[in-house]
A and B are shown apart, each in its own frame.
Chain A
């Protein structure tokens, strides 16, 4: 295909093209899915995908590409979909995006690629994310996963710390350039938040496993059960174990608590604990196929308004003994940082949103949580973040009866690497300081993802991994042995 000329897919005018309605995503029925852990959206069929692809105008100046943090060649891959060339579409996607099956599902497309789609101003934007998911799923299902040609071994060894999206992407790119790459992961499974945080019904773990296996086929070694800082320090990897460069992608794994009275009562969890028990440890299969217990509460309150809060709430709802789940958020729906789609799904499934509400203390009996005292809030002047600041309404306290409360008010960065790597500079929040390419204050050490920018998104972490891989390649290639 000659990409400079505008390809015609179906011989129709742009005006007609824009009349095609955005194809809805088939989904499991809300009340059915609210009690199972299967994926909620079922995915497009090939026909649906081709129809949706027909909506793309194949713009000469495709704004969508700039909206994507890794600059996926969106019109090109969509063109291949419209033509029914799914294999070509998959190859195009993979040129820039190592995890399309993941991104197609969890990217906040409505804030990235789709928000700048040219037709978006007049009609609904092209469903870029859903098409991306379709192509990746098709490739996995048809087993047409093709391996790129790998150049001869460069003789350089690179250590990647953390098997989250940042680390995995960096490892894949470096392996494709012929370097010998080992990923060190503290947990017993690779994937980072993709396996311990994001639930099965939003991102089936089998997809993450397939992506990790693909990397292994590229020659990446994945060493789980290896805590850098404890099992080995970064410096030991470089000076004793002969790694030429290191990429640090350790994520934002430090839960914040609220400092409220009663937060150590049994029944109060960090979202990290609750989600890890449920996802990584498969607690929803307790006691039959998994040994890790999960809370058995009838009434659950989740505090916070981000993706983590929505995931925790929807996960809690799916446990068979849960009757009621509340989201307790101190601002209003408009300010909620969670993806609109997740909020909508949560509402459909029956989660009750207590907005402009803030917990003031946890109440308990004999060490167990029995309720949560809350206060109503109203919106005042805009604060530093530009959002209107919630202020408490005096005398509006009320008690919510809950046996379980999940605190999802944010994560900080885990200090383990900083503490054990002298000379590696971090800011006051513990985020490692790195430049555009991920280069840190220490020679030969790069960093990227949540550990650098704070809790963000999968695609941003991947973008950082990618940039660092390019810089590391340049560095080790120039470096004399």
Chain B
């Protein structure tokens, strides 16, 4: 049984997105598409949830894609191969609901591309037709294109600036598919809340079943704290144990967006202090030379 979790591979992809391969043999045995882990970098560190983008049974490793946006994820971006994470625990959440005999369209934005990856693969494995729509601001920020091509019958790409694929958003592509009556049975959307909301609003008009994977602030991941509560339909659900996947047409996205801002002022303070100390450290390192 491992008590530390070494980083075996790390790649700097795009727009502050990093890929990590981490040894976590206990987790790999049970990993399923749609689940996530919670990790902590060091004593005193925060517990942050990250989706399982991939895993390797033989090597006992999990693959994570992490976007550096605040203190913890930025600190993580500074770790190197051979460094250890203090804690990695999981898998958490219910596995994605996979139905056979469907045309499955997955929409991913930002780290959401990594999150749709195992779910698209699971759909491919049961014989579903899989179409992946991935989007980013511009060409350099598209991640996992090859991996997605390997498991999708079709990959469609949208960039905001039109530097690659269709100019526009992922919803631009989805909308045109729905308008042209292309067969679509199930849509899955994972990414920024605003994107999941836009996708859900769109598919609702066409009556197409839509799944979203919610990313509220979490702590324990076991249903003990209620920090991750979301409203779906009329009921309160804990995203860590009842989700993270829910019916996109029933989710209260506005509440989710508001709750994600719960600690914005504190997160800002944390980041400022961190940047200051980082800079002095860099300064010290260069001074030493």
Query: Interface on A for B, CB 8 Å cutoff?
Result: 186-188, 221, 223-227, 230-232, 253-255, 257, 264, 266, 269-270, 272-273, 276-277, 281-282, 285-294, 296, 366-367, 414-416
Contact = CB atoms under 8 A, between A and B. Distances in A.
Contacts, number: 116
A254 B231 CA distance: 17
A187 B220 contact: yes
Secondary structure at the A interface, as helix, strand, loop or mixed, is loop
Contact of B222 (A285, A293, A366, A414): A414
Given A231-B90, A287-B266, A266 B261 contact: yes
Interface string B251-279: 00001001101110111011001000000
A232 B30 CA distance: 7
Going nearest first, the 7 A-B pairs with the smallest beta carbon separation are A293-B266, A367-B258, A253-B224, A225-B89, A273-B225, A291-B46, A270-B226
Contact of A286 (B227, B255, B266): B266
Given A264-B229, A416-B223, A188 B44 contact: no
Interface residues on B, range: 35 or more
Contact of B223 (A232, A254, A266, A288): A254
A232 B72 contact: no
Interface of B: 1, 3, 26-27, 29-30, 40, 44-47, 71-72, 86-92, 219-227, 229, 231, 236, 241, 255, 258-259, 261-263, 265-267, 269-270, 273
A415 B269 CA distance: 37
B89 A276 contact: no
Contacts of B90: 227, 230-231
10 contacts: A223-B1, A223-B3, A231-B27, A255-B225, A257-B226, A266-B259, A269-B227, A292-B219, A296-B266, A416-B241
Contacts of A270: 225-227
A366 B262 CA distance: 12
B225 to A, nearest CB: 4
Nearest to B42: A291
B46 A272 contact: no
Nearest to B241: A416
A230 B226 contact: no
Nearest to A273: B225
A294 B265 CA distance: 11
B259 A264 contact: yes
Contact of A272 (B40, B87, B225, B261): B225
Contact of A231 (B30, B86, B229): B30
B89 A188 contact: yes
Contacts of B267: 293
Interface centre among B3, B40, B220, B270 (most CB of A within 10 A): B220
Contact of B220 (A186, A269, A367): A186
Contact of A276 (B87, B224, B241, B273): B224
A292 B262 CA distance: 12
A266 B255 CA distance: 10
A415 B224 CA distance: 10
A219 to B, nearest CB: 15
A287 B40 contact: no
Contacts of A292: 46-47, 219
A414 B225 CA distance: 11
Given A186-B220, A254-B224, A291 B255 contact: no
Nearest to A233: B30
A281 B46 contact: yes
Contacts of A291: 44-46, 71-72, 270
B87 A224 contact: yes
B182 to A, nearest CB: 37
Nearest to A411: B224
A381 B90 CA distance: 49
A303 B92 CA distance: 30
Given A188-B40, A257-B226, A293-B263, A230 B92 contact: yes
